[in-house]
């Protein structure tokens, strides 16, 4: 494992769902306080939660190791929702 991979493995992800004021919700995934991924098109809070989970799954797939992202991906496949 390279130095860069170790640094990413030690970093922490946080998430945020916020109303945008236009009836939609915005989703952000942050790593060490910096936005890594965002989606501003969820019409309901429930859809925002699904978008957030999808963002975490994509981060896990794209070589950004995180226990939180990996757990989200594992739950997705355990629930039988894999496409």
Domain of residue 74, CATH code: 3.30.420
Enter the pTM of the model. 0.64
Tell me the percentage of the chain whose pLDDT exceeds 70. Answer: 63
Domain membership of residue 83 (yes or no) is no
Within-domain flag for 48: yes
Residue 60, domain member (yes or no) = yes
Span 14-39, average pLDDT: 89
Cα separation, 41 vs 21, in Å, equals 12
Query: How many domains is the chain built from?
Result: 1
Tell me: pLDDT of 75 over 80.
no
User: How confident is residue 57, by pLDDT bands cut at 50, 70 and 90?
Assistant: confident
User: 77 pLDDT exceeds 60?
Assistant: no
Residue 47 domain-assigned (yes or no)? yes
């Amino acid at each position: 494992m390279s130095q860069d991979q170790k640094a990413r493995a030690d970093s922490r992800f946080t998430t945020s769902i916020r109303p945008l004021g236009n009836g939609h919700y915005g989703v952000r995934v942050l790593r060490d306080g910096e936005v890594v991924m965002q989606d501003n098109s969820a019409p309901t809070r429930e859809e925002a939660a699904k978008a957030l989970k999808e963002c975490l799954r994509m981060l896990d797939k794209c070589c950004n190791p995180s226990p939180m992202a990996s757990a989200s991906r594992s739950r997705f496949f355990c629930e039988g929702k894999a496409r």
